[in-house]
Amino acid sequence: MPTGLTGRQQFPHRHLLAISALMPWEISFLLDEAEHWVGVNRAHSRKHDDRLGGLTQINAFFENSTRTLLSFEIAGKRLGADVVNMHAAQSSVKKGETLIDTAMTLNAMRADVIVIRHGSSGAVRLIADKVSCPVLNAGDGWHEHPTQGLLDALTIRRRKGSIAGLVVAICGDVLHSRVARSNILCLGSLGAQVRVIAPPTLMPAAIEQMSVTPFTDMDAGLEGADVVMMLRLQNERMDGAFIPSPREYHMLYGLTPERLARAKPDALVMHPGPMNRGVEISSIVADHPERSAITEQVEMGVAVRMACLDVLTRAARGVEGWA
C-alpha cells in the first residue's frame, strides 16, 4: 500500500526506459505500488486482477532471456492483459527489417504496452520514440535494466527497512553490466552509499563520476557492507580476454563465507541470476537461509513488473492515483 506519497497525483513518465530518468520520489512511488502486488501475490492462489483486461501487451525480446520474459509474461497475465511474445531473436529482424520498421509494425497492431529487450544500448529508446504506447525497457545492451534496479531496491527496502545510508557493494563484471548501472543509479538515488568491486579489466573508466567508490580488492570493498550484490559472470567473459580463468576469478572475486565475513554480520546477499555457482558465488553463501535474498529478488521482480505495467497504462485507461 502506498506510504507517504498522498500528495502526488500521477507518475509523470510515459515510458520506463532508465532509472536515470527517475526522480527519487518516482522510484519510491513504483516501489510502493509494487508492495501492493507482493501482498496480492502472497495472499491468494487467485492472483488475477482484470485492470489490464482487453489491453494488448507485446513482449518483444530481441535478445533471449527466459527469466525476464517469464516474469513480464506472468505479470501481464495476472493483470488480465492479452500478452503476446514476439521472439524477435528468431524473427523478421533477421530478414533484414530495420528496428524502426519492427517498432512501427508493433505500433500498428495497436499494442497498449510494449516490453522490449535488445542487445544494443539505446535501441529501446529508439523504439519508444516511434510508438504511441508506453514502452518498458527490459534491458538494452550495457545501458540499463530499470526493472532489475527497482526489484533489487524493493528487496533491500523490505529487508532493511529503508535504503538511505546503507553501504551496498556491487561486485563483478561492472563494465558490461546494465544491472550494475541501473542499481548504482537506483540505490544512489535513494541515498545508499554504493561501492563497486571489479577486476581492473572489468571496471568502467571514470566510474567515480557515478558517485560510487571503486575497489579492485574485494576484501576491502566488502568491509562493513550492508548489502553484497554479486553480478553474473557471462560465459563469454570466461575465456581469457577479461579474466584468466573461472577458477582464478572465484579465488579473487567469488563470494565465499570467509569473504562475506568482512561485511556486516547481517549483510544481505543478492544475485540477479542465473548464478554460476562456484564462480562468482559459492553455494553456501547463495543458499544461506537468512542472508541470501536471491529468490526474494525473483518474487519482487514479478511484483515490480506488475506495478510498472499498471502505472504506465493508467493514462490510457483513464485511471488516476493508486493501486
Interacting residue ranges for a second copy, rule: CB under 8 A: 41-42, 44-48, 53-56, 58, 64, 66-67, 70-71, 73-74, 77-78, 82, 84, 86-88, 90-92, 95-98, 101-102, 104-105, 107-110, 112, 235, 273-277, 294-299, 301-302, 313, 316-317
Instruction: For residue 117, say whether it is annotated as part of any ligand binding site.
Output: yes
55 vs 190, which CB is nearer to a second copy? 55
Strand extents, DSSP E, 182-266: 193-197, 213-215, 227-230
Question: Smallest distance, Å, CB 100 to a second copy?
Answer: 9
70 vs 210, which CB is nearer to a second copy? 70
**CA pair distance 197, 218, nearest whole angstrom:** 6
Query: How deeply is 279 buried, as exposed, middle or buried, from its count of CB atoms within 10 A (0-12, 13-18, 19+)?
Result: buried
Three-point CA angle 202, 277, 279, nearest 5°: 35
Question: Smallest distance, Å, CB 111 to a second copy?
Answer: 8
77 vs 264, which CB is nearer to a second copy? 77
Instruction: For residue 145, say whether it is annotated as part of any ligand binding site.
Output: yes
Instruction: For residue 232, say whether it is annotated as part of any ligand binding site.
Output: yes
Question: Smallest distance, Å, CB 11 to a second copy?
Answer: 17
- The answer to whether the beta carbons of residues 53 and 81 sit under 8 Å apart is yes
Three-point CA angle 224, 291, 138, nearest 5°: 95
* Collapsed DSSP state (helix, strand, coil) of residue 168: strand
Question: Smallest distance, Å, CB 217 to a second copy?
Answer: 27
Q: Which residue has the cell 526522480?
A: 23
123 vs 194, which CB is nearer to a second copy? 123
Phi first, then psi, for residue 117 (nearest 5°) are -125, 135
List, as residue ranges, the binding site for L-aspartate. 95, 178, 232
